[in-house]
Structures are given as C-alpha cells and as structure tokens.
Structure 1
Amino acid sequence: MIPDSRALIFTLAAVSFLLVNLELPADSRLTLGAFSLGSGVTALSLMAAAAVLGARWQWVETAFGGLDRAYRTHKWLGIWALVFASAHLMFKADGDGWTKAAMFALDPAVARLARQSGFVALMLLVLLALNRNIPYSVWRWWHKLAGPALLVVVFHALSIKSPIALVSPAGVWLAALCGLGLAAAVYKLLLYPLMSRHAAYEIVAVEHGPSAVHLDLRPLGQPIRFEAGQFAFLSLSEDGLREPHPFTIASGSRQDGRIQFVIRALGDYTQRLVSRARTGMHADLYAPFGRFERLPDSRCEIWIGGGVGISPFVAWLTDAGARDFDRVSLFYFCSPGRDFPDIDSLRGQADARGAAFFPIKGGGADPAFGHALDALVFANPPATIDISFCGPKALLQAVRTRMKESGIPAGNIRYEIFEFR
C-alpha cells in the first residue's frame, strides 16, 4: 500500500504524542507543557522523516510509488514540522512533577542558540519550498541546509532538560528516526554524487521550438537502463546549468543507449537551458526514477498530456517492445503556436503505432475534448476506461470533472506529479 501524505504525518504525530505522554505523570498529560513537549518531538520526527524522503533512496521511491510522490510528501512533512515547531516554541515544555535531565550537557547559551537557529532554519526552508519566485539555483543551495538544520535541532533535543530518557520508548523512537534522518542527510549532501546511479552523456542533436528544446544525448560510457515513462535528473557541464533538474525521458529504451528530453522554458533554469543548449555539451544523468508505466491489462487506455507533460507518452509511443496500441487514445493539450513536439509529428507517431490521436488547443473545457471522451465512453463501459495523465494541476482538475460527468470512476486515473517544487 502506497503511503498517503496525511496518513504518514498523522501517524508520526500520533506516535510521538503517545510516547511522550507515557513519560509524563498522568495528571500533567493534558497541559500546555505536555502539548509543547509533544509538539517538539513531533517536529523533530517529521524533520527526520523528510530527510529520509529527500535522499532519493530506491526503497523509499518504491514504497511511495514514485519519487514524485515521495517529494510531495517530503514538502508536507517540512510544512507540518514548522507548524509543530511553532507550537513547541510558543509554550514552555515543563510541568509539575516532571523528572528532567539533559541527555547531553551543553552551555545554556549554546543550547538556546541551537533551539533558535534550528527554528529559523526550518522556517526559511519551508518558505523557500513554497515560494516559486525564488530562482532554482538559490532554492537548491538553500535546500541543502536541511541536513545541517536537522543536526542543529538534534543537538537542541539532546541538550535540554527533558523527562524523555534516551532508553525510554520516546527516546528510542527519536534516536531511531534521527539516526536514519541524519544518515540520509549525509548521504544526500556528500555521498549521492558518488554512489547514485548516474552516467555521462553528450548532446548530439538539438531541436528548438517555441520556448522549448528537444535534446538527443548519447552515452559516453555505460548507458543508463530505464523504462519508457521514467524521468532523470539532468546536469549539464556548463556554468549556470550544473544544478541537477528533473525531466521526463521522452524516448523509449534503445540499444545504442541514446536518450531524449523535451524541455520547455518554464523557469529561470529551464530558460537558460533552452537558450544555451547546443551539440557537444556534456551532461550527467542521474536515473532512472518514477513509476509511471503502462497498465498491462487495460481494455481502453486514454493518455492525456498537457504541454511538456506529453513526454512520457512520446516515450511510450516510441518504445520498441510495446504493443496493444489499438486500445490507446492520446490527447495532446497545447496552446496555439506552442505545440512542441508539433501536432503533425505526434500524429505521425500515433498513426504508425495504430493509436488514436486528439490534439486539443482549448484546454480542459474545450468541447472537442468532451465530445471525444463521450464517444469513448459510448464505445466502452466507463469502468473499463483507464486514464494516464501528466500535465498542470488545473488541467488535471478539469479532466477529473469530465470523468465525473462521463461516469468514469474517480479511481481510474493515475498521474505523474507535474511539478516537484
């Protein structure tokens, strides 16, 4: 079962508060002091869990059904960690009859600095994660402070006088989570470039479109093995383009190891990449990631790609080992004059594999989309229709509305999260 963000946060908070209350006298468990202490333990637990999810470990991606979902949960863990840290800061974690001792003795001034700097660092990290106007390069380097911030908060937890002993259930809970979180932070900060799955490539072809670019890269050594529909973190060996950035692979797996991307200028980093990409550039690819794959037993497949969200479906179309395209209907949502890949090219690829193709230029409310979807529902029982989606949130909501109107079960859509930040 794939963990849900809300369920994971609730579970971590519930366990933290429960274990904290076991350490307190019964008559002080419903006080503001107990609430403050529980909030502090919960905030630290959430920060440690966020560090684990941010390490890009394969077992974490598998557990969450894709790195995109792990990153979404990672963001919400950080937000709620700030909420509980704020509650912890507002009230004094103290009560009558508490037996308190510090796990690790620090100078009171140093302990106070650790508490305050940890809270400020967490607040800045969450604000950075939520502010989409911050340049990606700035956001990425600030985000690297998540590991050191976790270490500072751990020092704070060890240095304060608390009723939680290291050998108590709450102490063991914190030690296990923080130990795993710190290990994940060290791995991501120092070891990831050395131990992760990556390979060197060279750009051999560049095709520019309206505010977009199509890149074709060949491996300089052992290529990365991937499945159609997965994504990679691309880092070009050029100043200003070295930050690894996630892009969906827009090609199927090939024997020569070549790999393709379709990238649109949507932010400061992608604008630089689109304008500066040229043949001969070298790149490092960290891959593969993602669990966005075709359903093997679907009777009617509807693929919906919005803008560059068409990339995984291009990969599925060009996957040499794939079949059963006669049951596929591909919808391509694009703004007039901004179709890249262009409509004619996609129509040719779809026709070559025997898939139906529907270019939609009016967004999710376009009558052409509704009419085509109604025709598919008329020809197939709604329960047998499976929808795969990749595109902006607004389009996803419009598609869900159309599904409801057409009688397609809400659970018959699966999607790749279009944006990490």
Structure 2
Amino acid sequence: MVKVVLAFVAVALGLAWGLDVLQAPPLAPESPVHPLWLARQEAMYLSGLLSIGLMSLAMYLATRPAWLETPLGGMDRVYRTHKWAGILGGSFAIMHWLVEMSDDILKSTIGRAGRLPKEKATGLLDSMQDLAEDFGEWGFYILLVLLAITLWQRFPYRPWRFLHRAMPVIYLLLAFHAALLSPLDYWLQPVGWLLGLLIAAGVYGALRALLGNIGQARRSTGEILAVTQPAADIVAVRCRLTGSWPGHRPGQFALVTFDADEGAHPFTIASADQGDRTIEFRIKALGDHTRQLAGLLQVGQSVDIEGPYGRFDIARINRRARQLWVAGGIGVTPFLAWLGSLQGKAANLPEADLHYCTRDRDNDPFVDELTRLCAALPAIRLHVHGAQQGEKLDAARLLKDVPAGQAAEVWFCGPGGLAQALRGGLDKLGWRRLRFHQEAFVMR
C-alpha cells in the first residue's frame, strides 16, 4: 500500500504536468527556441513538481492522521509512507538542482541562443520571486544535509530527532519557492490545482508541527504504578492514565514520552484493556534511551501517552484461514495482549498456532507467562523455538501442520531479519493462499 500511495501521487503529478505540455502550442518551424533548452525547462518543472508534491505528502502524514489508518493498514504504514515520501521528495529536489545546474553545459555546447524567454513579473511579484529563489537555494542545501544524515543509519537518533524538527521550516521555504516560481498558467489548469492542494496540505502539516499540537487530541497523561525487570535487558512498566484515555484494542501501540527531552517512542501495549485505564509496556533495551529506562523510571513518575494506534488487532484475523502467529523476542508483546484479552472466552476462541522464537528457551522470561496464558486457551497451541537449543523456526516448520492448499494467515511481530527469512521461505514453498501481516517500527 505504501508503494501504491507514492506511485499514485507521482503519477498524478506526472499526468497533470504532461497535460500542460500537450496543451502548449507547438513551436513554429522558424522558432528560435532550441529543443534542448525546452527539454531542460520542462525537466525542471517536472522534477520540481514531484519534489514539492511528495514533500507535501510527507509533511501532511507527519500529523499522524488517524483516518488513514484503515485505508493504509495502520499507523506504521502511515509513518512508512511519510518516511519514503520525504526521501523521494528530497531525491527529486536533487534532480531539480542538477537540471538547474545544467545550463552551463548547454551554454558551452549549443550556446545561449534558443533559450526560452523568462516570464516577466513586475513590482512586488518580481521581488517575491527573487526572494523565492533565495529561499529555494537555502532550503535545498539544508534539506540535502538532513537527507544525508537520515539515510546514514549510524548517525545517533537523538541529534537526528533534534535536527529533524527543522524540517517544517525547510518545507515552508521550499513551498514558497515552488508556489512563486511555478508558471503562472499552471494555476488555471489541473497541474496547478493539484499542486495547490498538496501545498495546502503540506503547509497545514508544517504549521501543526511548529505549533507542537500533532496528536494532541489523542494524548493522555498518567503516572507509573510499577517498574520491574523480568530480565536484564527488559523493563516492564505499568501505568494508570487519566479519564481521557479512550481504551485500546489488543495489539495496538502508543507513543510514550517518559522524558520530554528524549521525546516519544512507539511501544506496543502488552496488556489487554480491562476498563480501568491501566496499561503495561514491556520494553527491550535496544538503544541508548531504552537501556537507561530501568534506572530512570520511578513509581509515581508522570508519563505522557499518545494513542492508541495500529491495526495489529486480533479482531482483524480471518477466522476462515489457518492462524499462524509468530513472535520474535520482544515482538511477543502484542500477543501477550491478545492472549490476555481471550482469557475467560473459551467458547469463542480462534484456533491458532503461536510460535515464539527466542535465543534461549530455558532462560527466557516470557516462556512461563506464555505457557500459563495458553494453558487456559486450549485452541491456542504454543510452540517455543530456542536458537541455542537448535530449534530455529523456518517456513517449512511454520507450515508443517497446515494442510496443503488451506488458506493461512501469518501475524508476525519480531526482528526484520526473521520476517525476511520467513517471507523468502514461504515464497520458495509456493504457498499462494497466505497473507503475511507485519507492523514496522523503524523510526528512521
């Protein structure tokens, strides 16, 4: 779905640009305009449209519009679309700049003769266009730096997050550049209407980001009730939230802020909703921030939570398909919420095989808990795979008890490497009637 959305926006902009080109009167045989100069100009327009259009989409999606969760398949897909729209928009900005710089090459090869005359503006508009050119140049160079450090995965997250806050300002500079320097006849055609709509959405997102009210309607405050460490690298945090908490569905996640300077991080809610506004998180030490939580968090400390978000929801399972649930490491958290929500509902249980993959099954803190939860749910068959015990899960083992030709559904939460290995193995086995559900929490 992410690729579909990005392709749709890019194709729509390309078609609108193409319609404008087709409607332009053909050059007369005696026209002094050289085709290469004309091609350069249209390449500048197209690359600029794609750049600002995709960046506008990224800026709007940064507002975390909950209404898009259903069509895109979850807030993680919304975020992934935001991420790739920004990267692609920045890439087209580089292309736009390269086309702009190509004028020196054309001057040295075909000469200045045959250049298209520039649109003449007077008075205030002329001054604003000069300013727009400067804004575009400054914005591009800053954007180039931010794009480079975003793609450089070794750049630390915390300073990246701080620098990323400048993106709304950079976007406004580039949007001003695009709006003022687009051909005037664009605004009377579909290409201008589409561009205006996208810029309006992007400006809306940029202003909300600068005002700091993104997600405000879904924010709740609370306090920490308990902090425990079931394992050396895992901290369990139980919180009670205020009355504004709307409740959550099993498998959803929230953006949690323990430290305002650190900002929000996505964590899956590991507990079922009991109606008492109490939720629990199981957090694995995967970075600088999460490694410090056990020593920083205290009972009674305030916490800010935004959400809930996500479509990794047990209510969305297809009961007509064979259910294969796969948890890898800390990816067990949504399934803990699923199993908790099923307790006492033995009459309406879905049949499922839950595969839990861990490094060492004998010393894993979740094995006993999963065993206890599944013991009360006879329709849920638990399979624990310990890597140190030589019990690694692969596609063949996952499908071992599934009859050939039966529709199956995989719900996966865990390391990306395990997901890729299982997907590749399933493809090789040629299992066609199978759906693979996976949420992505890559913040960069």
The TM-score normalised by the length of structure 2 is: 0.84
Q: How does 1:29-48 map to 2 (within 5 A)?
A: 31-48=39-56
The match for 1:187 is: 208
Alpha-carbon shift at residue 6 of structure 1 (Å): 4.8
Residues 302-356 of structure 1: CA deviation (Å, up to 9, x unaligned): 1111122111111111115766546111111222389764212212112222211
**Distance in 2, Cα, partners of 1:362 & 1:233:** 31
Deviates more, 1:181-190 or 1:29-38: 29-38
The match for 2:177 is: 156
The match for 2:319 is: 297
1:313/1:6 CA distance change after superposition, 3 Å = same
Residue of structure 2 aligned with 1:404, choices 406, 427, 444: 427
The match for 1:419 is: 442
Deviates more, 1:149-158 or 1:117-126: 117-126
Residues 58-84 of structure 1: CA deviation (Å, up to 9, x unaligned): 123333111111111111111211221
The match for 1:356 is: 381
Residue of structure 2 aligned with 1:233, choices 255, 267, 270: 255
The match for 1:343 is: 367
The answer on 1:137 being equivalent to 2:162 is no
The answer on 1:311 being equivalent to 2:336 is no
Report the secondary structure of 1:4's partner residue.
Answer: helix
The amino acid that maps onto 1:46 is L
Deviates more, 1:78-87 or 1:13-22: 13-22
Report the secondary structure of 1:318's partner residue.
Answer: helix
Alpha-carbon shift at residue 125 of structure 1 (Å): 2.9
1:19/1:258 CA distance change after superposition, 3 Å = farther
**Distance in 2, Cα, partners of 1:373 & 1:167:** 58
Kindly name which structure, 1 or 2, has the bigger radius of gyration based on alpha carbons: 2
Q: How does 1:165-314 map to 2 (within 5 A)?
A: 165-192=186-213, 195-208=216-229, 209-236=231-258, 238=259, 240-241=261-262, 243-294=263-314, 295-314=317-336
Identity %: 29
Asked if the contact 1:307–1:339 (Cα under 8 Å) also holds between the matched residues in 2, the reply is no
Q: CA RMSD in A?
A: 3.0
**Distance in 1, Cα, partners of 2:362 & 2:219:** 32
Deviates more, 1:207-216 or 1:266-275: 266-275
Asked if the contact 1:5–1:76 (Cα under 8 Å) also holds between the matched residues in 2, the reply is no
Structure 1: tracts of 5 or more residues without a match: none
Asked if the contact 1:212–1:340 (Cα under 8 Å) also holds between the matched residues in 2, the reply is no
Deviates more, 1:94-103 or 1:155-164: 94-103
Alpha-carbon shift at residue 409 of structure 1 (Å): 2.3
The answer on 1:91 being equivalent to 2:99 is yes
**Distance in 2, Cα, partners of 1:371 & 1:23:** 57
Residues matched between the structures, number = 416
The match for 2:358 is: 334
**Distance in 2, Cα, partners of 1:371 & 1:161:** 56
Deviates more, 1:180-189 or 1:399-408: 399-408
The TM-score normalised by the length of structure 1 is: 0.88
**Distance in 1, Cα, partners of 2:291 & 2:275:** 31
